[in-house]
Amino acid sequence: MKRIYDFSRSPSARNYTVADLQALKGSGKKLSMSNPANPTEIRACLDAGIDLFVVWAEQIEEAREIAPHHFMGVGSTWSQFGTTSEILDHAFEMMRRGGDMYYTLRSYEVMETLAKEGIPVQSHIGLIPTFSHWCGGLRGWGRTADEAMEIYRTLKRMEDVGVFAVEAECIAEEVLEAVNEKTSIVTFSLGSGNAGDAIMSFVADICGEASEEDKPPKHAHAFGNLRRLHEQIYEERVTALKAFHDEVTAKNFPYPETNIAMHPEEKDKFLEALDKA
């Protein structure tokens, strides 16, 4: 645990700092990364030992309360803000509230503006679902030499404008392995093999919350079966609600043991007083 001042200039500590993540490149050590979406998932990730978190903007303060010392990324969606000044203001606010890096899909100019202000910037390479229209749908990236070189050039351009980290999504494993050695950018592999500096997966995918009908992506591997438990919980909920409904309509519920009764002899006093009222 490293003692730091966070970006609001409050004394704190982190399991990993920006410098720690940069120093991991080439070390052979792999970190785990996931996206807990609520207090229960945050606590579960903590208890499981997940190294790095990425959370939504509206979660950051609650997540920081639960996990005060975990490295935590936060950011904005592509269309959330219109201007660079709005994005910059939001980035400052997210860092002030406890963020350790800021994610953006916007232009190189925006990334550079953020980086010049001392904000650790994370972006995205490979498959970017927001931009799937441009590439003909959701698919793997870097399967051809030309596309692999484009990934490398994009990564180096991001490096030039000061990007600190990228999510590398659905890139051919050989490509990420090769380019990761040629950049200082920290890479979070999502469906891009074991070459990333950290390996990212979504909580829902890890815990097996999707059904086959949901068509989970190729990179989604279920280490648990929460879907089965969710279905059992739903069935149990319906059973309980139906029993309640049936007992109400049969005039059996509330049961005597669930009701409140007057103290002994008080009922007669009350009824006598009521009659005189």
**Confidence tier at 19 by pLDDT (50, 70, 90):** very high
**H helices present in 166-276, as ranges:** 173-180, 203-206, 226-249, 266-276
Q: What is the pLDDT of residue 146?
A: 96
**Confidence tier at 211 by pLDDT (50, 70, 90):** confident
Co-location of 73 and 121 in the same domain: yes
Alpha-carbon gap, residue 143 to 132, rounded angstroms: 16
150 burial (CB, 10 Å; 0-12 / 13-18 / 19+) is middle
DSSP line for 63-117:
HHHHSTTSEEEEE--TTS-SSHHHHHHHHHHHHHTT-SEEE--S-HHHHHHHHHT
Tell which of 207, 224, 241 closes a domain. 224
- Helix or strand run (H / E) with residue 43: helix 39-48
Co-location of 160 and 206 in the same domain: yes
**Cβ proximity of 186 and 165 under 8 Å:** yes
Q: What is the pLDDT of residue 113?
A: 98
Q: For tokens 């399991």, what's the residue?
A: 15
Give the tens place of pLDDT for each residue, 99-120: 999 999 999 999 999 999 999 9
Co-location of 34 and 154 in the same domain: yes
- Helix or strand run (H / E) with residue 12: strand 11-14
Co-location of 34 and 159 in the same domain: yes
- Give φ, ψ of 101 to 5 degrees: -155, 160
Tally the residues of the chain: 277
227 burial (CB, 10 Å; 0-12 / 13-18 / 19+) is middle
Co-location of 177 and 161 in the same domain: yes
Q: What is the pLDDT of residue 148?
A: 96
Give the tens place of pLDDT for each residue, 86-98: 999 999 999 999 9
Tell which of 209, 224, 239 closes a domain. 224
Co-location of 128 and 257 in the same domain: no
Q: What is the pLDDT of residue 218?
A: 82
**Confidence tier at 135 by pLDDT (50, 70, 90):** confident
Tell which of 224, 245, 267 closes a domain. 224
Q: What is the DSSP letter of 264?
A: T
CATH of residue 218: 3.20.20.60
Give the tens place of pLDDT for each residue, 20-52: 999 998 888 999 999 999 999 999 999 999 999
- Whole domain around residue 251: which residue ranges? 229-276
**Cβ proximity of 66 and 98 under 8 Å:** no
Query: What are residue 198's DSSP bridge partners?
Result: 31, 188
Average model confidence (pLDDT) across the chain? 95
Co-location of 11 and 107 in the same domain: yes
Co-location of 240 and 211 in the same domain: no
Co-location of 234 and 215 in the same domain: no
Co-location of 125 and 110 in the same domain: yes
CB-based contacts of 7-12 (< 8 A; 24+ apart in sequence) = 7/95, 7/96, 7/99, 7/100, 8/95, 8/96, 8/97, 8/98, 12/68, 12/69
For the chain, the domain total comes to 2
Co-location of 125 and 243 in the same domain: no
